[in-house]
Structure 1
């Protein structure tokens, strides 16, 4: 595996003018790296970061993320896309996507009553640490309205009660579909249906308060303390119809002992949740995450 990201550090948390990311994946074969590089070189592009992975060089799957600089990128995109279509798809039989990194992704956030993940994302966006805009925060409770409006972001209250999902989900789809590029569940405490995931039409990222699937349900830190756990952690993953079984983007843990109270476990767990979710959102918005069935390749 080649994984060089030194050039990304110049603006790794912000927007990159005249830079684009190119994701290529599919069946491995000789010559992929050279062919992609030739397409870019022929149009005056300079590769500034490259990451690649092959899970089996003898007939396995290949994944590559390339970041390049090209003066006048916007004007050059149509010709570049046509060349990539011909070489990468037609000749090499690979899937590809190209994105202008000067354009922030639109992130819609779903929240409930907890604020730690929600406010962390909003602070990072305001400070320029995440290359995103937040068109709206949607919540099934009004509790976080003032916190969200402090950031100048529209807050929308879509109540939900009991097992009823169809009407609130339909309303949320009406708000989100076509207006966001990704949805982030910042401790949104409702299970989303497969119909919602299909109708919203964009990836959905969730943060879970453990290494999945341990301590599912209410009171996870109480359950963790009762079991005498020595590690608590968090998992960020893409949401699928199978509850908490989607492709994992990022995980982390912190060591604890029998001495910590439930309140202390909760506080330390919230810190991990914030960090893991922020990294997952950042990596997704930098096109570092490639989904491969029920796993992810993070380059």
Structure 2
């Protein structure tokens, strides 16, 4: 009997070295169905096949972009007529925000062993529910794209800077993220433009339905349904019933950036009031600007003057948390 279905993306950064170990682990167990795709465009067909074995848990082995593609297919597709099984995520890729939120850290094999232990117990103790962000508009053509973390304004530029300038140096992920954060603050404080530094943020307008509009230049724009981020930061943003989309924006001003950077080092960014830091919840968020970038779980989108990006949310989706 198949208990766990594992969907792997061999092109994910972490799988270059890890996949042989995962293949060996799965080959030794008859209760794991392992399916590998050659491209994220094959994930829909992969889920059709996986649905036939009726797994108790669907495990995704890839970076946040792979998870995003799988969640989008699960939401729009009809692969599981009786409802999709809870989703677990192995720690993989560069940032692992979704895996981190679900308590999956460290060695992917250890996480997979933990999943196999949990599936033989009462799953209800480990099921958590998260709404997904549904992105439409901008240059996102067709059906909405689903994810759990969106970075915009200066944050999107910083993610692209880290991806194209820092990761190629081959440094540890945590050190790469720290260097990127320092470069962002340095560039914003001294207003220096250089090819080796992140670009300056462009002006944008952000609207939370029923709460109003904020305009300006922001070093950070974040929308998420996650509860835990990098550097052990929490995303409480104040308890409210206003909506599941959590919004944080940090103005691109020297003192604001210094305060926000210091708070993030201690995991307090978003949990206390800071001048120039805007916190909100909502059911619908609109982002407008001239070719301002946003990144939803690794996938890049751009706003246009007459085509804003619109964020809404889905109904709660079951996930498997590996936390004790």
TM-score w.r.t. length of structure 1 = 0.26
Structure with more contact order per residue of length (Cα contacts < 8 Å, sep ≥ 6):
2
TM-score w.r.t. length of structure 2 = 0.25
